[in-house]
Amino acid sequence: MSRLVRVWAAAVPPLAVVLALLAAWEAASIVSRFPTYVLPRPSQIARELLHPGSLFWTHTWITLQETLIGFVIGSLVGLTLAIAIVLSPLIRRSIYPLIVLFQTVPKIVLAPIFIIWFGYGLLPKEMLVVVLAFFPVTVDAIHGLTSMDPTLVDLLHSVSASRWEILWKIQLPHSTPHIFSGLKVASTLSVIGAIVGEWAGANGGLGFLILSSSAQLETVRMFSGVVAVSIIGLLLFYAVSRLEDWLLPWREKVEVRHPLG
């Protein structure tokens, strides 16, 4: 019960601010009498979001698939690369600089290339999400895996612990908070990657919906797409945060909570 009270107490302030902003937006739209194609009212956006017969939900499902699949694959790739870099000095010297160099390439440039290579289906968008998601997981996981006390590693070596035993029993558990920090960043970047990929070329998805609605001055639908994208990103971020709380309950007692976690 006390945990529910804490969650509710943390949720009330931002929820109150959002409701106040929406009320002010609704009132300003009514008083100013802006045309709908210039600034739709929140109530109109809500009706579009909740309309059961709209193709809106089909586009949402497409973007959700791209985001989730790309996020999971990107996270696994990032964690695997981090482990390989930590275990092998050769990989660290040869691969890690290339990963950093690749990350400096603007991802919007990669989107049309993936479209040319793989067509207009889900695959090129998922690949772009993977490219965006793996880097923060890799960097944070490397930091966590290498931040152990050296004396502890020496102690384990003194009792004949193998390299893999040290990794699985000590380094990975120690690095879990760092890995979740990377996952939180990757969760928001995954949504951005899916939308950018759909803008480069797609037959469906919220990015496609936003772009086509903007071209046709269907502002209500365009704003609805933006809201849906934001909700997907928010839910994925908090899903990762709740998984962290479930797997690492001790963090609430010994660490100051992250302001967004």
Please report which confidence band the pLDDT of residue 172 belongs to, taking 50, 70 and 90 as the band edges. confident
The pLDDT of residue 255? 42
Residue 133 belongs to some domain of the structure: yes
Residue 47 belongs to some domain of the structure: no
Residue 245: which residues within 8 A CB-CB, separation 6 or more?
251, 252
Residue 37 belongs to some domain of the structure: no
Percentage of the chain exceeding pLDDT 90: 24
The model's pLDDT over 43-72, given as tens digits with 9 standing for 90+, comes to 888 888 887 666 778 888 999 999 999 999
Residue 217 three-state SS: coil
Decide: residue 26, CB within 10 A, 0-12 exposed, 13-18 middle, 19+ buried. Answer: middle
Residues 191, 206 contacting (CB under 8 angstroms): no
CATH code: domain of residue 203: 1.10.3720.10
Nearest Cα neighbor of 86 from 30, 146, 28, 128 is: 146
Residue 10 belongs to some domain of the structure: no
Residue 104 belongs to some domain of the structure: yes
The model's pLDDT over 202-222, given as tens digits with 9 standing for 90+, comes to 788 888 989 888 888 888 888
Nearest Cα neighbor of 133 from 205, 67, 64, 84 is: 67
Q: What is the mean pLDDT of the chain?
A: 82
CA dihedral of residues 159, 164, 166, 172 (deg, nearest 10): -170
The answer to whether residue 187 scores a pLDDT higher than 90 is yes
Residue given tokens 């797409």 in the structure block: 225
Residue 44 belongs to some domain of the structure: no
> Which tokens hold the place of 36?
């709908």
Residue 34 belongs to some domain of the structure: no
Residue 20 belongs to some domain of the structure: no
The pLDDT of residue 76? 95
The pLDDT of residue 148? 73
Residue given tokens 């993936």 in the structure block: 114
Give the structural domain span for 220: 55-254
The answer to whether residue 185 scores a pLDDT higher than 90 is yes
Count how many domains the chain has: 1
Amino acid at 257: R
Q: What is the CA radius of gyration of the chain?
A: 22
Flag whether the pTM goes above 0.85: no
Residue 171: which residues within 8 A CB-CB, separation 6 or more?
86, 144, 145, 148
